[in-house]
Structure 1
Amino acid sequence: MEQKGSVLMQRYELGKLLGQGTFAKVYHARNLATGMSVAIKVIDKEKILKVGMMEQIKCEISVMRLIQHPHVVELYEVMASKTKIYFVMEYAKGGELFNKILKGKLKEDVARRYFQQLISAVDYCHSRGVCHRDLKPENLLLDENENLKVSDFGLSALAQSKHQDGLLHTTCGTPAYVAPEVINRRGYDGVKADIWSCGVILFALLAGYLPFQDKNLMEMYRKIGKAEFKFPKWFAPDVRRLLSKILDPNPRTRISMAKLMESSWFKKGLDKSVITATENKELAPLDAEGVFDSCENCPIVKPKKEQEKPSNLNAFDIISFSSGFDLSGLFEDTEQKKEVRFTSNKSASTIFSQLEDICKRFRLKLKKKDRGLLNLEGSKEGRKGILGIEAEIFEITPQFHLVELRKSNGDTMEYKKLLKHDIRPALKDIVWTWQGEQPPQHEAVPEEQQQQPHVVPS
């Protein structure tokens, strides 16, 4: 266990604990050779392997080495032992920007300076093919000179993470800062989603509170979906115009980063060096895979069985999937919805097996993909081509799953007919309840589900 005063890898003396989460702790530390202050994030290997976060950690390492910008926290090196991973990073002495907002609104010039630095950093990330996806004041740090530093790239996405439609499909972020299209779960442009989050941050800096807030989470999501908010009376006309363009619920018409940076409010008092692209430094090579090599029980290549393991649902996903929080009505006609969901108290392998049997029975072709995703295809041409159905299995607990069926190709009426008359009846042995319907009264709620805590995102 790490303790204050202990020496790590014969190179760093650990200081006080700066913060901690489920999988990591962050310490202040001192480089014994140079005396320089650093922050060290200590990640528990066993915990991240247990929840399938190994790829996410590798991605975070790759992203942080890719991004070299004066307003992004710098990753100096990554070290590993058999049980821990150590991120040695730039130390931001000023703490979180969030702490300043807690004290109330900032002066316009101060807020603008932080916003200019934020936009400079985010625009640079986008130019390198990186979307942050979790921008919020808690992830914005300040150095000793009150300069902003973007941190925590754990949920970031590289350009290659996009699907064939060119969009991202993973629901993530912090609810109050997340863009409407992310909540909608229909695929989104990560760049436009980051711009929205920057707008929420700017509003909070100038107002001292968030534009979208409500004790009822569903009501807050509704407000986000319609961009329903009010400007405080002290907001100047030019900042109102800019925020109205940033907090546009339609990502297609939302202001671009280039036009944002050309706005008169943004350019006022701008230090030109803030938006100058950073020269690429010659970096020591850092092998993200090698970080895991020193762990005897950390296979880099996943075993075949693990590749078929369904995706885990986080609290944000569960809320988004829940029928009580279904926001699709804000974005589309519910009669035209092309997906249905059900929960099952069977194992993932049992659900896979049942879907395979259904494909054999109804002469559908089955194609397996990673992380619990299946493609079911019709064998004959329909009215609008070959019918395609995607089935995705999400793990809530090892013995409780959520399954989503959605049309990916073909005629909607043919899809609904097959679903109603063939697929739904054939699934009756594994279905706990269909979304929007009550669970059967004669069955008890699975023990694992009973143990799930009631999660309300902050």
Structure 2
Amino acid sequence: MGSRSSGSSRTSVGKYELGRTLGEGSFGKVKFARNMETGDNVAIKILHKEKVLKHKIIAQIKREISTMKLIRHPNVIRMYEVMASKTKVYIVMEFVTGGELFDKIAKKGRFREEEARKYFQQLINAVDYCHSRGVFHRDLKPENLLLDANGVLKVSDFGLSALPQQVREDGLLHTTCGTPNYVAPEVINDKGYHGAKADLWSCGVILFVLLAGFLPFEEPNLVALYKKIFKADFTFPQWFSSSVKKLVKRILDPNPLTRITIAEVIENEWFKKGYRPPSFEQADVSLDDVDAIFDELEDSQNLVMEKRKEQPATPVTMNAFELISTSRGLNLGSLFEKQMGLVKRETRFTSRCPADEIISKIEEAATPMGFDVKKNKYKMKLQGEKTGRKGHLNVATEIFEVAPSLYMVELRKSGGDTLEFHKFYKNLSTGLKDIVWKSEDETVEEANEGSGIVPS
């Protein structure tokens, strides 16, 4: 790990030193972190207890986390441990560095059948194993499919992606969630659904995208999109083989009762080509930390504290590994859109202007666009006054020093609609053209060179 400038501060929780934010959601955020005892890099999901209590899902979270700790599978992101402070829950997870599977598609356009099959087999392995442990994902989508350094598929957020859901007396799930293009018709219908059947539908959409390079169901408005999903109204490109067409049709069956099962998928001729069942060992796992996370005793010995030194009035200096981790592959927030366009939840630019000037220029550009600006040293929160498709657009901004007199500015959507964030950034960047030195596509490479990192 590279070092920080002597004046800057670090926040630590237990034996972990927290770094930059990797992603944000309705219950909290995910941060990059380092185990100070071993030097290993991890990702820490931070949930706010208050929000969890408000949704009355403590028992469910404890159950989900307990199950996730027991899951040790080569194609599922590993959960190491759980900690809690008085106000937050910290879920420590494996940090993978190979980027998102769909970033590879964005570069290639689409995969050949052999390559698509290899990833689909790993996806089915992960999903099947978790289902056998009673854990359903409920929100399988592109940003949850990551690759490790060896190119092995890892499904993230299994069992944690749709926390507010409950199984009712009928044994079915009832909360609609997920990215609309990937959601099974019975989930949209809101008459209850089986998690396993819904997960498999999402896997079918993912398989189609791997092979086609575009979505099977794509309409600009939700009503039209849902109509297509209900009818499974989609067209195969000409390059799909007849055997894979048959399999996709069986998976994308709008009737969950006649839809193929995962056991049947594994026996399918197309699927079985070159198939190797995963090999792994089950280890002894302690669940003591899970029971302790909602311990309400104030003097509980199990509670950890966030330790933070006073932040000086200079931008945080980003170290070498964190800088590499800003490359597009490690962002946990890409959305897969039409014609392979990547509409991201975050973006960045570099500037040689002084940090104070950058802050002033962003405020000058955002205020006339109808944004309320709150500043905290070299971080800003921009809140849109208008209510958009998913409430108010909120943008978190932070300035990092990546080399002497070279700053990286990160803008991250922390609330609202991703497409609206994309539009906002386009408009904002017009007002910032005088201070922007490089756009995001060039940022990492230039910043790497400025820090003495030579890209491989």
> What range describes the TM-score normalised by the shorter chain of this pair?
0.5 to 0.7
Distance 1:58 1:50 in 2: 15
> 2:83 touches 2:289 (CA, 8 Å); kept in 1?
no
Give the whole-Å Cα distance in 2 for the aligned partners of 1:285 and 1:52. Answer: 21
* TM-score, normalising length: structure 2: 0.60
Out of 291, 294, 297, the position equivalent to 2:293 is: 291
**Residue 181 of structure 1 pairs with residue 183 of structure 2:** no
CA-to-partner distance for each residue in 1:215-235, whole Å, 9 max, x for gaps?
Answer: 011000000000000011111
Equivalent residue for 1:267, pick from 263, 266, 272: 272
Distance 1:4 1:181, change over 3 A: farther
CA change 1:4–1:138 in 2 (3 A) is farther
Shift of 1:237: 1.2
**1:223–1:295 Cα change, 3 Å:** farther
Query: How far apart in 1 are the matches of 2:63 and 2:265?
Result: 29
| Structure 2 counterparts to residues 208-357 of structure 1, below 5 A | 208-270=213-275, 272-274=276-278, 276=279, 278-293=280-295
Q: How does 1:437-452 map to 2 (within 5 A)?
A: none
**Residue in 1 aligned with 2:389?**
454
User: Residue 457 and residue 219 in structure 1: after superposition, are their counterparts in 2 closer, same or farther (change >3 A)?
Assistant: farther
Note the alpha carbon deviations across 1:128-149, whole angstroms, 9 max, x for none. 1121111111111111111111
- The structure 1 segments of at least 4 consecutive aligned residues displaced by more than 6 Å after TM superposition are none
Structure 1 residues 155 and 284 mapped into 2: Cα distance closer, same or farther (>3 Å)? same
Separation in 2, partners of 1:188, 1:201: 20
2:160 to 146, 151, 154: 154
Amino acid at match of 2:79: L
1:269 Cα deviation from its structure 2 partner: 1.7
The Cα of 1:101 is off from its aligned counterpart by: 3.2
Q: 1:129 to 1:157 in 2, by over 3 A?
A: farther
Three-state SS of the structure 1 residue aligned to 2:293 is helix
Q: Out of 22, 28, 31, which is 1:24 matched to?
A: 28
Letter of the 1:57 partner, please give it. I
Output one character per residue of 1:97-120: Cα deviation in whole Å (capped at 9) or x when no partner: 232233321232221111110100
Q: Is the 8 A contact 1:133 1:157 kept in 2?
A: no
**Distance between the aligned counterparts of 1:22 and 1:4, measured in 2?**
29
Q: CA deviation at 1:295?
A: 7.5
**Which moved further from structure 2: 105-114 or 141-150?**
105-114
Displacement after TM superposition at 1:46 (Å): 3.2
Q: Which residue does the alignment assign to 1:109?
A: 114
SS at match of 2:140: coil
**Displacement after TM superposition at 1:196 (Å):** 0.5
* Secondary structure, aligned partner of 1:131: coil
Equivalent residues of 1:82, 1:295 under 8 A apart? no
- Determine the C-alpha separation between the residues in 1 that align with 2:166 and 2:389: 31
Count of matched residue pairs: 301
| C-alpha deviation, 1:65, in angstroms | 1.5
Distance 1:101 1:60, change over 3 A: farther
Change (3 A) 1:28 1:457: closer
2:402 counterpart residue number? none
Distance 1:42 1:165, change over 3 A: closer
Residues 142 and 148 of structure 1 are in contact (CA less than 8 Å); yes or no, is this contact kept in structure 2?
A: yes
Partner of 2:83: 79
Q: 1:80 to 1:206 in 2, by over 3 A?
A: same
How far apart are the structure 2 equivalents of 1:9 and 1:457? 31
Partner of 2:355: none
Q: Which has the higher contact order (CA 8 A, sep 6+)?
A: 2
Match of 1:64 among 68, 75, 78: 68
Quote the residue 2:92 is aligned against.
88
Contact 1:223 1:229 in 2 (8 A): yes
The Cα offsets for residues 350-407 of structure 1, whole Å up to 9 and x where unpaired, read as: xxxxxxxxxxxxxxxxxxxxxxxxxxxxxxxxxxxxxxxxxxxxxxxxxxxxxxxxxx
- CA–CA distance in 1 between the matches of 2:66 and 2:34? 24
The 8 Å contact of residues 131 and 156 in structure 1, kept in 2 or not, is answered as: no
CA distance in 2, matches of 1:92, 1:141: 7
1:155-212 per-residue CA deviation (whole Å, 9 max, x = no partner) reads 4589x95444332222222211111111111121211111101000111111111111
The answer to whether the aligner puts 1:41 opposite 2:26 as a matched pair is: no
Retained in 2: the 8 A contact 1:56–1:154? no
Deviation readout 1:391-438 (Å, 9 max, x if unpaired): xxxxxxxxxxxxxxxxxxxxxxxxxxxxxxxxxxxxxxxxxxxxxxxx
Q: CA RMSD in A?
A: 2.9
Q: Which amino acid aligns with 1:229?
A: F
Distance in 1 (CA, whole Å) between partners of 2:255 and 2:130 is: 23
Name the residue aligned to 1:118: 123
3-state SS of the aligned residue for 1:119? helix
Secondary structure of 1:292's partner?
coil
Identical residues among aligned pairs (%):
57
1:131 — aligned with what? Answer: 136
- 1:281 deviates by 1.5
Question: Using the alignment, how far apart are the partners of 1:4 and 1:20 within structure 2?
Answer: 24
The Cα shift of 1:68 comes to: 1.8
Q: Structure 1 residues 269, 292: closer, same or farther in 2, change over 3 A?
A: same
Spell out the pairing of 1:373-392 with structure 2 (5 A cutoff).
none
Match of 1:349 in 2: none
Secondary structure class of the residue paired with 1:29: strand
- How far apart are 1:267 and its partner, in Å? 1.1
2:56 and 2:167 mapped to 1: Cα distance? 20
TM-score by length of structure 1 reads 0.60
Change beyond 3 A, Cα 1:137–1:286: farther
**In structure 2, what is the Cα distance between the partners aligned to 1:21 and 1:164?**
29
Question: Whose Rg is larger?
Answer: 1
* CA gap 1:297/1:60 in 2 versus in 1, 3 angstroms: farther
Corresponding residue for residue 308 of structure 2: none
Deviation at 1:121, TM superposition (A): 0.6
Rounded to whole Å, the distance in 1 between the matches of 2:22 and 2:16 is: 16
Distance in 1 (CA, whole Å) between partners of 2:11 and 2:229 is 47
